[in-house]
Amino acid sequence: MLKALRQPIREFESFHEATKLTRINAIAFSQRVISYMSTPRLVLETLRNKKAFRNSEVQTLPAPESDKKQFHKIMTRRATQRRFLPTPLSLADISNLLEPALGVQRRANSTAHPKESLGFRPYPSGGGLYPIEFYILAKRVEGHAPFVAHYSPSNNSLTMLHRDLSPEALDEPFIYTDAQQKNNAMVLVMTSLTERSATKYGDRGYRLALIEAGHAAQNICLNAEAMNLGTAAWAGFYDEDIEKLIGIDGVNESVVHTLLIGHRNIST
């Protein structure tokens, strides 16, 4: 049984490989996006992207008490930030941003292994398996040259992978649509060690990993808003460039999401 669980699961690997953005397919991908945005019928479909039910009862809900709850205010203010100021973050800022959103908040003993404790984070994860890993591409941090690090939710720490890099080296994997996007202080990269989920859930584990990345990203976006920082969930990146930068193989561990983070430029 254990041997069967460890067999390669090719379906999710093939899907992930087929959806990577490379310098070879990026031109065709960009042309598709431009064509979509310049076709009135398709733009209209985007504007109508809500599901409607015919002949069904509609129950109107009371207005939320957003003016009385700070968290509601944060949620309503959250928006994608496409322009940043070239202002650095401090290590304290990084801790305040990541630990409440991603860090282990409580522990419980394992019934199967009493000497081991289970760490639970503040976002859902299928089976509590946490296949998502976090890396920081830090361009602007007080007292530090640009660096690449792995973030550990278990003990709120950074494992430095590369130091003394250039900002250009950390910009290279990304496709920016505005010059001020490069002013971000850091990029949070999320990867998936899908085997953690797939061993238990099979190919469905890949879907659970993607869902988890979305939950974690929203935690970051809301906490950043509370800190008056800007964020942008960003899919414009070359997978293999980031894989090389953070030292993963792109198969057993793959990039699934990135967030641009920094001080928002509210003057433009």
Domains, the chain, ranges and CATH? 79-264 (3.40.109.10)
pLDDT in tens, 113-136: 777 778 889 999 988 889 999 999
Please report, rounded to a whole number, the percentage of residues in the chain having pLDDT higher than 70.
86
Task: Provide CB contacts within 8 A for 196, sequence distance 6+.
Answer: 129, 130, 131, 205, 209
* 24-28, 174-178, 253-257: segment of lowest average pLDDT: 24-28
pLDDT of residue 61 exceeding 60: no
Among candidates 207, 176, 221, which has minimal Cα distance to 82? 176
Residues facing 158 on adjacent strands:
151
pLDDT of residue 234: 96
What's the chain's Rg over C-alpha atoms? 20
Strands (E), 124-213: 132-138, 147-152, 157-162, 186-192
Confidence of residue 260 (pLDDT cuts 50, 70, 90): very high
pLDDT of residue 50: 56
Confidence of residue 259 (pLDDT cuts 50, 70, 90): very high
pLDDT of residue 69 exceeding 70: no
pLDDT of residue 166: 96
pTM given for the model = 0.83
pLDDT of residue 111: 73
Q: Is pLDDT larger for residue 83 or for residue 49? A: 83
Q: Is pLDDT larger for residue 185 or for residue 194? A: 185
Mean pLDDT throughout 152-156?
Answer: 88
pLDDT of residue 63: 60
Structural contact between residues 239 and 254, judged by C-beta atoms closer than 8 angstroms: yes
Q: What is d(CA 92, CA 96) in angstroms, rounded to the nearest whole number?
A: 6
pLDDT of residue 78: 92
Structural contact between residues 197 and 208, judged by C-beta atoms closer than 8 angstroms: yes
Among candidates 116, 99, 119, 125, which has minimal Cα distance to 107? 119
Counting beta carbons within 10 angstroms of the beta carbon of residue 232, is it exposed (0 to 12), middle (13 to 18) or buried (19 or more)?
buried
pLDDT of residue 83 exceeding 90: yes
Q: What is d(CA 71, CA 36) in angstroms, rounded to the nearest whole number?
A: 36
* 59-63, 91-95, 103-107, 199-203: segment of lowest average pLDDT: 59-63
Structural contact between residues 256 and 209, judged by C-beta atoms closer than 8 angstroms: yes
Alpha helix ranges (H) inside the chain: 2-5, 10-18, 26-37, 40-47, 70-77, 91-102, 167-171, 195-201, 204-226, 239-246
User: What are the phi and psi torsion angles at 17 (to 5°)?
Assistant: -65, -40
Mean pLDDT throughout 163-168?
Answer: 95
Mean pLDDT throughout 83-92?
Answer: 95
pLDDT of residue 231: 98
Task: Provide CB contacts within 8 A for 94, sequence distance 6+.
Answer: 136, 138, 141, 158, 186
pLDDT of residue 38 exceeding 60: yes
Mean pLDDT throughout 20-47?
Answer: 78
Among candidates 124, 230, 147, which has minimal Cα distance to 183? 230
Q: What is d(CA 151, CA 160) in angstroms, rounded to the nearest whole number?
A: 9
pLDDT of residue 46 exceeding 90: no
pLDDT of residue 149: 92
Q: Is pLDDT larger for residue 4 or for residue 40? A: 40
Mean pLDDT throughout 78-82?
Answer: 92
Q: How far apart are the two ends of the chain, measured CA to CA in Å?
A: 59
